[in-house]
Amino acid sequence: MAPSSSSTLHHFSLFSLILLISFSSPRTLVLALSKPKPPNSLFLPISKVDGTSLQTTTQYITHIKQRTPLVPVNLTVDLGGRSLWVVIDDDYISSTRTIHNCNSTQCKLASRTRVCPFGDPCFLPIHHPTLGSSQVGSLCDDVISLQSTNANSYTTIPHYLFGCATNYMIVGLADGITGAAGLGRSKIALPLQLASAFKFDKKFVLCLPSSTNAKGFVVFGNFVPNTAVSPVPLTYTPLLNNPVSTVPAPRGEPSYEYFIGVKSITINGKLLSIDRKSGNGGTKISTGHPYTALKTEIYNAFIEAFVREAEAMKLKRVAAVEPFGACFRFGPAVPMIDFVLESKNVWRMFGANSMVKVGNNGVMCLGFVEGDYDEMTSVVIGGRQLENIVLQFDLASSKMAHKLYLHVHPNQLIQGRIPQGCRHEMPIKSVQVQGSLIKAGKQEDLTELMMDRISKGERLS
């Protein structure tokens, strides 16, 4: 009787294993059997730090491990940053840090406009995400370690490229922060450098927390938000390339930040026009701005239209509180703000993202501010309007998706699910779905009711 194919395969596999053991050194065999599986995705936790009199703006904070030996390093999240950068001072001790010279392959990867007259170190522009200032640093590499979503473990990258900055860049950062985690479109920012190292998708997912008690996250790589948590589908819009950098940079360098096309803004369905002038116009998405900033002409029209709609909804206007232009007594509902995108999708901002609670006297302010006179973009969508929204950036396809009102908690990322704690903290009492008022005592209950209605095909109104 002829042996079965499965029996033959079993004997062949056993013979192959015997050969491997016979002709391999003990070290080679151990490495072959213990080589860890490369991660499908990597994870950074995010927390929120509110502004104070000394540190004037809200920041979103994360941490990695870096150096040899590894030590924790706290960083502020910079969505449009061209690189990870860290302040190099007497406390930076590592046996594996390397400074690259201007003629190196690494410098060619990091800078399109480098000039190397004397073989100097590779100079790298380093941008401060909250102050808007820049300095020239050096391109370095060192060991970094990030948490993997495959299991509750860390993955190490031995020669990760980053910017070495001076102590000057600490000014304006939250206490204990010594650098920034750049998530921009540069080849040496975290998304593309990690994708290159581990051959996973050139994508990342971002969710910013809305309070100092909540948790957010960034996930790099092959990770898709779980539709079982929220049945609302991802809606995509193209990412636009801005050929002119909006932060200080060498002449001729494009922007590494994220821009989308916003065709118009509506308030309760009523239209405002947007300046879409090429280069200086458009809409930037930024974690360095605590609130959405609008060019003066747009801002004035926006405030006027919002106040008109708010008063029609019986909201009582009160004295404005800096830096906001319109404040009200807290009410059951506020005007709905829609950003109408080039893809014809709508980015809808509910009260939890559009309003900011001020003090403890029942006052809320419209969380949009007038842009700086030297701001190069007409609209900058800031951190408050990004909170509790899952944003997926697909760099390979140059598109962005947003998913509203998820309950997320970073610990569940380890099990491959969207987390359950990046949640709204403002107590919205009700919302309308196709003209029907939904009421709830808690934000969590309201969100679940709202998602249930949307999953049945009903529209928010």
* Rounded Cα distance, 190 and 403, in Å: 22
Instruction: Read off the amino acid at residue 171.
Output: V
**Which pLDDT score is estimated for 243?**
79
**Which pLDDT score is estimated for 38?**
79
Q: Tell me: pLDDT of 228 over 50.
A: no
Q: What is the DSSP letter of 371?
A: P
**Which pLDDT score is estimated for 414?**
37
Instruction: Read off the amino acid at residue 228.
Output: A
The more confident residue out of 5 and 131 is 131
**Which pLDDT score is estimated for 402?**
84
Q: Tell me: pLDDT of 453 over 70.
A: no
The more confident residue out of 364 and 330 is 364
- The per-residue DSSP string of 37-85 comes to PPPSEEEEEEEEE---SSS-S-EEEEEEEETTTTEEEEEEEETT-SS-E
- pLDDT digit string, tens, across residues 36-95: 677 888 989 999 998 764 445 899 999 999 999 999 999 999 999 999 999 999 999 999
HSE of 30 in the Cβ direction (CA atoms, 13 Å)?
A: 3
The more confident residue out of 408 and 187 is 187
- The per-residue DSSP string of 153-213 comes to EEEEEEEEEEEEE-GGGGTTSPTT--EEEE-SSSTTSHHHHHHHHHT--SEEEEEB-SSTT
Q: Tell me: pLDDT of 29 over 70.
A: no
* Rounded Cα distance, 91 and 88, in Å: 8
Quick one: how far is CA 127 from the chain centroid? 17
**Which pLDDT score is estimated for 360?**
83
**Which pLDDT score is estimated for 430?**
39
Beta-ladder partners of 203 = 394
**Which pLDDT score is estimated for 445?**
36
* Rounded Cα distance, 62 and 375, in Å: 27
**Which pLDDT score is estimated for 233?**
63
- Confidence category of residue 273, pLDDT binned at 50, 70, 90: low
Alpha helices in 75-117 (DSSP H): 105-110
* Rounded Cα distance, 199 and 211, in Å: 34
Average pLDDT on 250-263 reads 85
- And the tokens for 337? 């703000």
**Which pLDDT score is estimated for 232?**
53
For residue 421, give every residue at least 6 positions away whose Cβ sits within 8 Å of its Cβ, in sequence order, or none. Answer: 209, 214, 215, 407, 408, 409, 410
The more confident residue out of 79 and 424 is 79
Does 323 sit behind a cis peptide bond, omega within 30 degrees of 0 on the bond before it?
A: yes
CA distances from 431 to 12, 245, 445 (A): 66, 40, 12
* Proportion of the chain above pLDDT 90, given as a percent: 50
**Which pLDDT score is estimated for 119?**
65
Looking up tokens 């050194």 gives 25
- Highest mean pLDDT pick, 248-262, 375-389, 402-416, 442-456: 375-389
Q: Tell me: pLDDT of 116 over 80.
A: no
- And the tokens for 146? 């990030």
- Confidence category of residue 153, pLDDT binned at 50, 70, 90: confident
Determine contact, residues 421/410, Cβ cutoff 8 Å.
yes
CA distances from 6 to 2, 9, 131, 234 (A): 12, 5, 67, 45
For residue 338, give every residue at least 6 positions away whose Cβ sits within 8 Å of its Cβ, in sequence order, or none. Answer: 265, 266, 267, 269, 346, 347, 348, 349
- Look at 159-163, 169-173, 435-439 and tell me which has the smallest mean pLDDT: 435-439
**Which pLDDT score is estimated for 352?**
87
* Rounded Cα distance, 442 and 420, in Å: 16
- Confidence category of residue 459, pLDDT binned at 50, 70, 90: very low
Q: Report if pTM > 0.95.
A: no
**Which pLDDT score is estimated for 435?**
41
Average pLDDT, the chain: 78
* Rounded Cα distance, 79 and 216, in Å: 14
Instruction: Read off the amino acid at residue 175.
Output: D
- Look at 186-200, 322-336, 375-389, 410-424 and tell me which has the smallest mean pLDDT: 410-424
Ramachandran region of residue 173, left (φ > 0), alpha (ψ -120 to 50) or beta? beta
Does 69 sit behind a cis peptide bond, omega within 30 degrees of 0 on the bond before it?
A: yes
- And the tokens for 390? 């899952």
* Proportion of the chain above pLDDT 70, given as a percent: 70
The more confident residue out of 253 and 58 is 58
Q: Which helix H or strand E contains 390, and what residues bound it?
A: strand 390-394
Q: Tell me: pLDDT of 452 over 60.
A: no
**Which pLDDT score is estimated for 407?**
45
**Which pLDDT score is estimated for 224?**
58
- Look at 3-17, 76-90, 149-163, 304-318 and tell me which has the smallest mean pLDDT: 3-17
